[in-house]
Amino acid sequence: QVQLVESGGGFVQAGGSLRLSCAASAYIYGLSCMAWFRQAPGKGREGVAAIRTGDGSPSYTDSVKGRFTISQDNAKNTWYLQMNSLRPEDTAMYYCAAAMGWGLCSYTKKSTNFDYWGQGTQVTVSS
């Protein structure tokens, strides 16, 4: 069973930056899409960014466009979320997720369509 392990979360002031990492414990055969989700207290899980692993094509929800960048290092089975110009409303638990097979790869992809999940890493942005 492949495991995803996130790291890089923490506490930062508004305007600051963090880089989240998501490392897979092994190569994921059939992997097609990696995504980052977040969940703030009392709110549902929200897709933030996704990357089509075959060609590196990214997508972002509007609230993070221009501030967040999703990327991948295939040699390391690791994915990243660079977060700049952080805002208090970015405060949430962040999760990475992996999907196999064919289908849409977008931040709008339903969470139920992902096959593997990490345990989450907390990001807290103070005003």
Radius of gyration of the chain (CA): 13
Condensed to tens digits (0 to 9), the pLDDT of residues 6-32 reads 999 999 999 999 999 999 999 989 999
List the one residue out of 115, 119, 78, 118 whose CA is nearest residue 100: 115
CB 22 within 8 A of CB 4: yes
- Show the CA angle centred on residue 40, arms to residues 38 and 41, nearest 5°: 145
Q: In what order do the strands lie in the sheet with 4-7?
A: 4-7, 18-24, 78-83, 68-73
Condensed to tens digits (0 to 9), the pLDDT of residues 64-83 reads 999 999 999 989 999 999 99
